[in-house]
Amino acid sequence: MRWETQRLEKAKQIIKMYPQKRSALGPLLYLAQDKDGYISNESIVEISSLVGITEVQVQSVASFYSMYKQEPTGKYLLSVCKSISCEISNSSEVIESVKEFTGLSNNETDDQNLFTYESVECIGACGGAPAVQVNYETIEGLTPDKAIDLCSWLKETEPKVIVADELQEKFGGVKSFDWAIEDNTGTSSPVPGFQTYDTLKEKK
Ligand code: FES
């Protein structure tokens, strides 16, 4: 199935911003994921035709970067950092808590499509280690017990929008510094313009 008109229009606007069409590959992949929650085969075909490179070339970029998902994720993507600063701050126990609560191994999604769990490399919050993200919203200073509380709260309340500040206040500990930048959707995001995908749509 081809992309719908609105998404195609957006794609064409993005392509116009670059001197060469193929330079728009990254933003177009993000556009695909923002709509579908992952990079579907249809999107690979569509992007290939939009920017004039082969489907294999599109797929090779999409599969290289771990934040482009190859399959649909659950409603809440739990990304637990396993890199060195978090590792020496007890992230392995936070990981065990999340895995125990969800019953998931790395990159698995539960049958209800509620949680996807993944262990990830550094997410740029080393000063507040151990750090976890829910739908790419960061929480710092989590303990193993607080990780369980976080998962329970998500399961019980199923919030439509994930807000980093709210999760930090409820479940986080010491923060590295106040780096979050408000965006125009009411959430905050570590990188301007890189907004929570999927959950935001229900708010609009
Ligand atoms: S090492 Fe975990 S956020 Fe950097």
**Local structure of 117: helix, strand or coil:** strand
Considering the domain boundaries, does residue 90 fall inside one? yes
Q: Is the pLDDT of residue 92 over 60?
A: yes
* 117 and 41 inside one domain: no
Cβ–ligand 1 distance for 122 under 6 Å, the answer yes
Q: Which atom of ligand 1 is nearest to the CA of 82?
A: 2
Considering the domain boundaries, does residue 138 fall inside one? yes
CB-based contacts of 124, cutoff 8 Å, min separation 6: 138, 190
Q: Whole-prediction pTM value?
A: 0.80
Q: Ligand 1 pocket: which of 122, 138, 176 to mutate (most atoms <8 Å of CB)?
A: 122
CATH code assigned at 164? 3.40.30.10
Residue 83 to residue 100: CA distance in whole angstroms: 20
* pLDDT tens per residue across span 123-161: 999 989 999 999 989 999 999 999 999 999 999 999 999
* 80 and 141 inside one domain: yes
CATH code assigned at 48? 1.10.10.1590
Angle among Cα 119, 122, 126 to the nearest 5 degrees reads 120
